[in-house]
Amino acid sequence: MDAFIDSSVWIASRFEAGDRAEWARQYLDRPSGLFISEYIVDEVVAFCLGNRELKSRPARERIGIARKFLDIFQNSGAVEILPVGTGQFGEAKTLVEESGLGLSVTDWTDLVVARDRGIRDLCAFDNAFRDAVKLPGFSRIRIVPGDGPKD
């Protein structure tokens, strides 16, 4: 089954331990059907290069980790990078301003792009997504892992 994967899942799969990280690694281990936007690429790479907790690691190591993610995104065959259109960005910006849910522009673009592409599953660890799918137009989307791991 196809799924849009939020940056929180990619980051957990590499940088966390415990049930949530293991769930992320297993979920991402598939030959195809993983979708992300250009914004997710940016968030994951920015995390690798600039996260406060990773700053103690040498820059060469952080760049290497970012390159591994880029390789997965671009060359694994499992991931398709979806563009975010101007209209989708505008809708996401409006939802940030009007929804009151505390989701970022990138989070809303996850939802808008998944909806527009007919992708039913959105994989994320951010609980605010669960409130977003209660809004008109987004009820068809299912947040995965549901009530799963919450480390």
Is the pLDDT at 151 greater than 60? The verdict is: no
In this prediction the pTM is: 0.90
Is the pLDDT at 79 greater than 80? The verdict is: yes
Give domain status of residue 149, yes or no: no
Tokens 């799969």 sit on residue: 13
Domain boundaries, position 30: 3-144
CATH number, residue 105: 3.40.50.1010
**Res 115: pLDDT:** 96
Give domain status of residue 127, yes or no: yes
d(CA 40, CA 88): 15
The model's pLDDT over 94-105, given as tens digits with 9 standing for 90+, comes to 999 999 998 999
Tokens describing residue 111: 């939802």
**Res 56: pLDDT:** 86
Question: Total domain count for the chain?
Answer: 1
Give domain status of residue 150, yes or no: no
Q: Angle at which helices 38-50 and 59-75 pack, to 10 degrees? A: 160
Mean pLDDT of 61-83: 94
Give domain status of residue 45, yes or no: yes
Give domain status of residue 117, yes or no: yes
**Res 106: pLDDT:** 95
Give domain status of residue 151, yes or no: no
Residues 6+ apart with CB under 8 A from 48: 54, 62, 63, 65, 66, 69
